[in-house]
Every structure is written in structure tokens, then in C-alpha cells.
Amino acid sequence: MRRLTTTEYAVLGMVAWGEASGYELARSAARGIGYIWAPSRSQIYKVLPRLAGWGLLRSREVAQRSRPDKALYRITSEGRATLRSWIEEVDEDPEGGTSVFLLKILYGWVAADEIVVAQLDAYRRWLERTIAHFEELERNLPPNEPVHSAIAVRHALARGRATLDWVEAARGELTRAGKPTARSA
């Protein structure tokens, strides 16, 4: 199976929600998942034909009256399997950082609940390592260190701890609710 970039997986996941044009995907990313992953419109336009060329998406042209024709993309069964396979890979320290955990959780509806719980658990372990690192930094700040350093370290700790609380809440919610409704291809 082909190894995609995080951007390619993210676009594949966006198209998995339903047929869309590159323009619609760019607007959707800006209004929705932009806090996790913020592609440029040009990135999306470059990725879509590549994913279609690999058989992960299908496209169809739609004629428009006062504008150039547009291409609409939808995910194929091979594309859905590729997305699911990526989500099922649990990496304790993904190359793309926290965005990878969050994208896999966002698109987790294409996989089994246990996989999303495993992603949350891996994210929790990553956060615990990060918090431990900043706690060590805080303990070892020199007495003559500018106050700004301590403020920045405390921000990192607060953010890490708050995210850790979110992970635990999300894990509980997923466990209580059962599998979210999967969307059809």
C-alpha cells in the first residue's frame, strides 16, 4: 500500500465525508479542521488529482454557466481502505506531531472504536512525556532566568494538562457512546 503524506491523508479524509470540489474542501478546511491542519488552497488542488491518479478518489466534471467547469471528487473503496489503514497505525511519536493524532481521531469513524481509543491512549502517552519534559525544565530554570521563560514553560504545562484532561474525557465519551455513525462511501 502506498505511503501518503499527512496532507494527502487529510485531503482523503475530507473527501470521505462526501463529494466535493477543491474549492469546497479549501473552504471547509478553513472553517473546520484548520485548527488541526491548515492547507493552502494550492496544496489541496495539487493533491486531489494525485489521489485520483492513484485510484483513491474519483472525479467527475461539472459544467457551470458563468464559471469554468469544476471537478468534484469522491472517495473510492480503495481510498477508504487506505484512510482506514492509516488511522489503524498507532504511532507513539508521529512525524507530523499532534496534528496526526487529531486527524486520526477526527476521521476515526472509518475505523473500529478500539483503534480510536488506541490513538487516544498513544496521544495521552505523548502528552505525559511532553508534560514531564516541561516539568523538568521548570524545575531546572536558573534563578536568574528572565520571568518570561517561566511564563512560557507554565503555558506549555497548562496546555499539556488541559489536553490530557480532554483526552481522558474523549476516551470516556467514545467508550460510553459506542461507535459513531459511519458515513457510507
pLDDT at 40: 82
Give yes or no: residues 10 and 63 share one domain: yes
Per-residue confidence (pLDDT) for residue 156, from 0 to 100? 96
Domain that holds residue 142: 113-177
User: What is residue 8's predicted lDDT score, i.e. its pLDDT?
Assistant: 95
Q: Are residues 68 and 44 in the same domain?
A: yes
pLDDT score for 185: 39
- How far is 116 from 110, CA to CA, in rounded Å? 10
Contact residues for 36 (Cβ-Cβ < 8 A; gap 6+): 99, 102, 103, 106
Q: What is the DSSP string of 63-122?
A: --SSS--EEEEEE-HHHHHHHHHHHH---SS-TTTHHHHHHHHHTGGGS-HHHHHHHHHH
pTM of the prediction? 0.86
Asked if residue 79 and residue 10 are part of one domain, the reply reads: yes
Domain final position from 60, 84, 104: 104
Domain endpoint, select from 104, 136, 158: 104
Asked whether residue 10 is assigned to any structural domain, the reply reads: yes
Same domain, 134 and 65: no
Number of domains in the chain: 2
Same-domain pairing of 66 and 123: no
Asked if 75 and 141 sit in the same domain, the reply is no
16 and 80 Cβ atoms separated by less than 8 Å? yes
Which residues are CB-neighbours of 148 under 8 A, at least 6 positions away? none
Per-block average pLDDT, block size 10, for the chain (185 residues)? Answer: 87 95 89 81 93 97 86 97 96 90 94 92 96 96 92 96 96 76 42
Task: Output the pLDDT for position 39.
Answer: 81
CATH number of the domain residue 22 falls in: 1.10.10.10
Following CA atoms 28, 33, 34, 39 in sequence, which dihedral angle do they give, to the nearest 10 degrees? -70
Last residue of a domain, one of 104, 134, 161: 104
Give me the pLDDT at residue 65, please: 86
Same domain, 91 and 128: no
